[in-house]
Amino acid sequence: MKVVVINSGSSSVKYEVFESSDLSVLSSGSLERIGESESQHTHRIYGPSGTVNETVRRGRVDNHEEGFRFILSTPVDSPVIKSSEELLGIGHRVVHGGEAFREPVLIDEKVIETIRELIPLAPLHNPANLLGIEAARRVFPGVPQVAVFDTAFHQAMPPHAFIYALPYSFYALHRVRRYGFHGTSHLWVAKKAAAHLEKPLTSLNLITLHLGNGASAAAVREGRSVDTSMGMTPLEGFVMGTRSGDLDPAVPFYLRRATGMPEGDLEALLNKGSGLKGICGANDMREILQMVSRGEPLAQLALELYCYRIKKYIGAYFAVLGRVDAVVFTGGIGENAALIRKQCCQGLEALGITVDDTKNEKAYEEVLEIQRDGAPVKVLAARTNEEREIAEQTLAALLPCSGPRRVREGAP
């Protein structure tokens, strides 16, 4: 039996297919440019000896339901799945679960309606996630499907961490509060860190740093998120690829008055035209590091600002936790950019946080220790695997002793 993980965007579908018995990856792929004149489907099959067979097809795909059927029409020598009878379940990434969802949930009409009601909190993400859910339910009507929420891990935060200092009625009536995101990634690497340290996750205090084009931190006490840098939306927190991160709330009002910029354009500026891109014109850290090596001053400023903001959060979350067993870097930048890890930890020696240059430059597969010998706080780089975490959570929502089509009710 197989478990499929689906991450649906407004014009794309990404998927990964796992063997349910051991969660080994069988295949993965993406369908891009849905609704355009020509869509592209890339499909990869993983062989037992580590081989990868990739096929690329193109064709017109008008909507997500057509997209799933196009994916399923992959030639018979490399099918995604042969029939829905092979499927134990399908797990869907959903960005925003609000306060309604604290764990994976079996998708039914009530769950779909609740996700739809949460669209105002995630207007760029939840509609696209719903497109994938509704299309998959039509294409696979007999297969149980599970929603796994980016926000769920952070629902353990105490009120003093998630309430904003606004009139309390805005929370009571409109649920304006900190929710946090990247929860599946923070949970995955927290578990990886615990396994690497050979200690129960419930005994550890961790600061996890998911650094990609979007980026966030989490303070994890005894396996539970007690604070996180992203807020009601993914705009708060770190400087990111195109997002501003933390900002004086008066700045948008000032810019509106000073420039006459319409509200929608201003929101787009903060989400898509700010951050690293706004400072130096690039949002890919690899490109920025090349610009720094050429001596470009705005790229150097962007790099310093990026690392400085992360360093401040490390210090803040050290204060929140009181004791820190490990700082864990993950995400495309956190996993691969040794210079970023080094600069984020510079000056934190008084907290027991150090980086050994030789260790930091080593190649690794899953987890790499980079702290200096004898340092009291471990510093780790760990590969995240959000798809595998979603697959695990999907399986956890299925009752293994009751047959492949019996699942635990999970509606809110």
pLDDT of residue 401: 35
Q: Are residues 238 and 336 in the same domain?
A: yes
Q: Are residues 202 and 145 in the same domain?
A: no
Q: Are residues 102 and 248 in the same domain?
A: no
Give the model confidence (pLDDT) of 95-117 as tens digits.
Answer: 999 999 999 999 999 999 999 99
pLDDT of residue 79: 61
3-state secondary structure of 50: coil
Residue 164 lies in a domain: no
Cα separation, 252 vs 256, in Å, equals 6
Q: Are residues 242 and 139 in the same domain?
A: no
Q: Are residues 215 and 81 in the same domain?
A: no
Q: What is the length of the chain? A: 412
Q: Are residues 355 and 259 in the same domain?
A: yes
Check residue 223 and give left, alpha or beta (phi > 0: left; psi -120 to 50: alpha).
left
Residue 405 lies in a domain: no
Owning domain of residue 80 = 2-149
Residue 406 lies in a domain: no
- Per the CB < 8 A criterion, the answer to whether 372 and 82 are in contact is no
Of the residues 122, 149, 176, which one is the last residue of a structural domain?
149
Of the residues 149, 183, 215, which one is the last residue of a structural domain?
149
- Per the CB < 8 A criterion, the answer to whether 15 and 29 are in contact is yes
Q: What is the CA radius of gyration of the chain?
A: 22
Cα separation, 251 vs 266, in Å, equals 10
Which regions in the chain score pLDDT beneath 50? Answer: 401-412
Residue 172 lies in a domain: no
3-state secondary structure of 7: strand
Residue 209 lies in a domain: yes
Q: Are residues 136 and 234 in the same domain?
A: no
pLDDT of residue 72: 84
CATH of the domain at 52: 3.30.420.40
Query: 229, 209, 239: which is closest to 327 by C-alpha?
Result: 209
Q: Which residues are catalytic?
A: 150
Cα separation, 390 vs 384, in Å, equals 12
Q: Are residues 142 and 202 in the same domain?
A: no
User: What is the DSSP-derived secondary structure letter of residue 249?
Assistant: T
pLDDT of residue 400: 52
pLDDT of residue 82: 72
Give the model confidence (pLDDT) of 229-244 as tens digits.
Answer: 999 999 999 999 999 9
Q: Are residues 32 and 132 in the same domain?
A: yes
> By 3-state DSSP, what share of the chain in percent is helix, strand and coil, each rounded to 5?
40, 20, 40
Query: 150, 182, 190, 181: which is closest to 324 by C-alpha?
Result: 190
Q: Are residues 96 and 243 in the same domain?
A: no
Total domains in the chain come to: 2
What ranges make up the beta strands (E) of 138-292? 145-149, 205-211, 215-221, 224-228
Check residue 146 and give left, alpha or beta (phi > 0: left; psi -120 to 50: alpha).
beta
Query: 116, 117, 122, 93: which is closest to 105 by C-alpha?
Result: 93
Residue 318 lies in a domain: yes
Query: 101, 106, 107: which is closest to 150 by C-alpha?
Result: 101
Q: Are residues 362 and 230 in the same domain?
A: yes
pLDDT of residue 283: 96
Q: Are residues 204 and 122 in the same domain?
A: no
User: What is the DSSP-derived secondary structure letter of residue 44?
Assistant: E
Residue 184 lies in a domain: no
- Per the CB < 8 A criterion, the answer to whether 193 and 383 are in contact is no
pLDDT of residue 395: 94
Residue 404 lies in a domain: no
